[in-house]
Amino acid sequence: DAGVTQSPTHLIKTRGQQVTLRCSPKSGHDTVSWYQQALGQGPQFIFQYYEEEERQRGNFPDRFSGHQFPNYSSELNVNALLLGDSALYLCASSFGSLAPPYEQYFGPGTRLTVT
């Protein structure tokens, strides 16, 4: 049973560019959440997708957007990259957006470096 997978593992981008990160949830899970973990910090919630819709959003600008596909996989897009966007981006999957508190299963993350 595959866990949460993320691609790519590492990514280097230049300021102003755009990036797309991908996530496949754990088998049987229908909800995907994205988190940003800056160096030395705890993960911060970006947004959550359920039934192909953004259900809840953290305190992140509109440059951060996402999408969920019918197979429950998800993408995180970041436009107009800033140096401060450099971080580990974690995807987490769970079952049921509106029925907390299922534990979330995290992928290994994508390390984004903006130069």
Partner 1 sequence: AQSVAQPEDQVNVAEGNPLTVKCTYSVSGNPYLFWYVQYPNRGLQFLLKYITGDNLVKGSYGFEAEFNKSQTSFHLKKPSALVSDSALYFCAVSPETGANNLFFGTGTRLTVIP
Residue ranges in contact with partner 1 by CB under 8 A:
4, 31, 33, 35, 40-45, 48, 50, 55-56, 58, 90, 92, 94, 96-109
Nearer to partner 1 by C-beta: 33 or 74? 33
Minimum Å gap between C-beta 99 and partner 1 is 8
Distance CA 38, CA 70 (A): 30
Minimum Å gap between C-beta 63 and partner 1 is 19
| Maximum CA extent, the chain | 40
